[in-house]
Amino acid sequence: MPKVPYHLDLPEAITSRVVFASPHSGRDYPWSFLRTTVLDDQSIRTSEDAFVDRLFDCAPQFGAPLLRANAPRAFLDLNRAADELDPALIEGVRRGGHNPRVASGLGVVPRVVSNGRAIYRGKLPMAEAERRIAHFWHPYHDQLRALLAQAHAQFGESVLIDCHSMPHEAVDAVARNCARRPEIVIGDRFGASAAPAIVSRIEAAFVAAGLSVVRNMPFAGAYVTQAYGRPSRRQHAVQIEIDRSIYMDEVEIRPNANFQAFRRLLRGVVADIASIGHEGKALPLAAE
C-alpha cells in the first residue's frame, strides 16, 4: 500500500483563504494492487490526473496550501463518497437506489478505468474496500476539512479549488457550440457549490491567461464540490478540469514539449486565484 495517504505542501505563512487540492494525481501504485489487476502498467494509469499536482505546486508560494493525494484513482477515488460502494465489485454490498457513478463502475473503489476497461477479474472482499477507505479516504478528507476550517476561521471564508484534468475528447460535444474549443471546465454544480462572484473571479483568472473556459459542461463537480461547497456559509468549492493534451502526451502519459510553458502560465493563474479576497491590498511578491 502507499506509505502515506497524502502530501501536504504548506506555505511559510497562510495568507490566502484558498485551498488547492489534487485528489486524482496520486501515482503510488501498491505492488499488491498491481498484482490483482488485469491491466498493464500503462493502462492502469489512464484514469489518473497525471501531473496535475505539478501544475499547481506553486500554490504555497502564494500563501495557499496544496493537498495532494498519494493513492491513485484506480485504487481509490477520493472524489466519491465513502459509501459509494459498487455491488458489482465489492462482495456483500446490497444494491440500493440508482447511482450513475457507481453503475458505470466509478464508485469509491473503481471497477473500471477510462473507456470502461475492467480493473479486476472478479470481486473484492468488503474488508479490502474498508481497509482502503480507512487508510486513505478518511485521512485525506480529514485533512481537507481541517484546512478549510482553518481558512474559514482565519478569513471568514474558504475557497476550495479541486484540481483535475480531462481527456481532450471530453469536450467534443460542447466544443461544437463554442467559438473556441474549451480548454478549462469550471464546475460549481450549476451555482450550488460556490457564490457567483467567486466563480466569476476564478474564470477571469484563466481567461486573463488566454485560456478558453466553459462552466459545468460536461463536468459540474462530483462528491468534493457537493460535500464542501456551502456558499451560504461562505464555504465555496470549485472544480477545475484542464485539457490534458495541452501539457501531456495522453497515450504515453508523460509531459509534452509544452509542459513547462503551460506550468509557467498557470503560475500566474494560481497567484491570481490565491489573491481572492485581497483585492485592493498590496501583496508581497513571491520568489521565482
How is the chain split into domains, by residue range? 6-82+127-274
pTM of the model: 0.94
Q: Please state, in angstroms and rounded to a whole number, the distance separating the CA atoms of residues 248 and 50.
A: 8
Backbone CA torsion sign across 109, 65, 227, 183: negative
Helix axes 259-274, 196-208, angle to 10 degrees: 150
Question: Per-residue pLDDT tens for 163-195?
Answer: 999 999 989 888 888 878 999 999 999 999 999
- When mean pLDDT is compared across 1-5, 113-117, 237-241, the lowest value belongs to 1-5
Q: Please state, in angstroms and rounded to a whole number, the distance separating the CA atoms of residues 77 and 73.
A: 5
Residue 284 pLDDT: 41
Is 6-82+127-274 CATH 3.40.50.300?
A: no
288 band by pLDDT with thresholds 50, 70 and 90: very low
Summary mean pLDDT of the chain = 93
Higher-pLDDT residue of 4, 286: 4
Distances (CA, A) of 273 to 135, 147, 214, 259, 276: 31, 17, 17, 21, 6
Q: What is the mean pLDDT of residues 262-270?
A: 98
Residue 179 pLDDT: 78
> Phi then psi for 268, rounded to 5 degrees?
-65, -35
Q: Please state, in angstroms and rounded to a whole number, the distance separating the CA atoms of residues 184 and 285.
A: 26
User: Which residues 6+ apart lie within 8 Å of 197 measured at CB?
Assistant: none
> Phi then psi for 219, rounded to 5 degrees?
-125, 115
Burial 187-201 (b: 16+ CB within 10 A, else e): bbbeeebbbeebbeb
Instruction: Identify residue 175 by its one-letter amino acid code.
Output: A
pLDDT reading at 287 higher than 50? no
Q: What is the mean pLDDT of residues 64-83?
A: 97
